[in-house]
Structure 1
Amino acid sequence: MKLLVIKAHPEPAPRSISLKVMDAFVKEYKQDHPDDEVVVRDLFAAPVPPINNSTFPAWDALISGTKPDDLPAEQKKMLEPSNKLLAEFLSADKYLFVNPMYNHGVPAELKQYFDVIEVPHATFRYTAQGAVGMLQGKKAAHIQAAGGFYQNQDVTALPDEDFAAPYVRAQMKYMGVEDFTGIYAEGADTYPDRRDELVADACARAKKAAAKF
């Protein structure tokens, strides 16, 4: 089995709660799944290629029936990074998304990543009944850190103001992944005196999830 870790965080681990929780998850996962391959895709170390006015003509040519090898050299070169990301994504059996909440949403790099890997006839297909995901049988987990409470139970929780966690879950469901686990490290800014306790709790939940993932 192959676990693909999609890391959408710019900060080094000592400052990042979500990366600390990620490390706890991955360490436990490797211990409990020693024969599995774990691949980390860092969206900040190797930026996701943009979708722009040059991308669409190449896509339109492919949709119109042009074979990939028959595209002009500059278009083939432009699409190569996106194609590699898609191939890597399709080759995985399990996914772990890791990000901080940015102003109630996901980092732009993660949004760009989804735009690149959500490709018709690869991760989903159109039918008369609507879009149908093509990744059935795979599973995903999501680690997200936030300064307030949005997903976890707390008197100050504001679930309607978190557009990030529902977004990641929705994207995976759109591609056919129904087995989804959310691990949310929240409240460290709301209760700075409880930071260590809240981080430890999130790490414990991450380890528990990893053991059976």
Structure 2
Amino acid sequence: MTILHIDSSITGDNSVSRIVSQAIIDRLSAAQPGVGVVRRDLASEPLPHLTLDALADTSVLDQFLAADTVVIGAPMYNFTLPSQLKAWIDRVLVAGKTFRYTAEGPEGLASGKRVIIALARGGFYSENPAVALEHLETYLRSVFGFIGITPEFVTADGLSIGPEQRQVAIDQALGQTQHLAA
């Protein structure tokens, strides 16, 4: 089994999405010894934004397709995902490879792959009025659904409320990782 670990936070050791995504990797690796983990850090080695020339390079797509499981650390920046993660997604959603158009509508071609996303958000976005500002989980759920994958989410919310709430959110997210099936 191969796990692709994607991190996109720019905050380094202060990143909650990195802490939680690593905990997910640790949990999955412990449950299945000998698993191979390929790590891609989109903050330290960012992909350029998509251009026509960049479409010819299929290395990101090949890496995604080769993985059985993909674990993504996804912090919320300005109500959505980091542009580094968007650049990666632009290379994964490729017509004829991960989806196709049919007379009945689009069809995902990447089903059978597991995607687990560690979300880190400064506020609480599951309640009104902030629910209308949440464009991270909804975007990722839609994007992966489009290619035939139902992603799983481990969420740390309210990280910017204060130090106590930050620790509560981290502890709750790390607790969620213990319930992930191998």
Q: TM-score, normalised by structure 2?
A: 0.91
Bigger helix share? 1
Match of 2:174 in 1: 203
Structure 1 residue 92, shift from structure 2 partner = 0.9
1:27-77 CA deviation, whole Å, 9 max, x = no partner?
11111111321111111222213323xx1xx5xxxxxxxxxxxxxxxxxxx
Is 1:96–2:68 an aligned residue pair? no
Over aligned residues, Cα RMSD in angstroms? 1.9
2:141 is matched with which residue?
169
Secondary structure of the equivalent of 1:196?
A: helix
Counterpart-to-counterpart distance in 1, 2:106 and 2:55: 24
- Aligned partners of 1:119 and 1:7: how far apart in 2? 21
Contact 1:96/1:143 (<8 A) preserved:
yes
Q: Name the CA distance, whole Å, in 2 between partners of 1:203 and 1:5.
A: 17
Whole-Å separation in 1 of the counterparts to 2:20 and 2:144: 21
Aligned position for 1:39: 38
Judge conservation of contact 2:79–2:135 (CA < 8 Å) in 1: yes
Q: Which moved more, 1:82-91 or 1:40-49?
A: 40-49
Give the 3-state SS of the residue equivalent to 1:204 in structure 2.
Answer: helix
Secondary structure of the equivalent of 1:39?
strand
In the alignment of these two chains, the number of paired residues is 182
One-letter amino acid matched to 2:31:
D
Equivalence for 1:127: 102
Change (3 A) 1:144 1:157: farther
How far apart, CA to CA, are the structure 2 residues paired with 1:79 and 1:197? 42
Which residue in the other structure is 1:139 paired with? 114
TM-score by length of 1: 0.78
User: SS at 2:179's partner residue?
Assistant: helix
What pairs with 1:1-213 in structure 2 (closer than 5 Å)? Answer: 1-13=1-13, 15-52=14-51, 55=52, 82-151=57-126, 158-178=130-150, 180-209=151-180, 212-213=181-182
Structure 1: runs of 5+ lacking an equivalent? 59-77
| CA distance, structure 1, for counterparts of residue 49 and residue 6 of structure 2 | 17
Question: Alpha-carbon deviation of 1:79?
Answer: 5.2
Structure 1 segments of 4+ aligned residues over 4 angstroms from their partners = none
Question: Rg bigger for which structure?
Answer: 1
The percentage of counterpart residues that share the same residue type is 29
CA–CA distance in structure 1, aligned partners of residues 129 and 38 of structure 2: 34
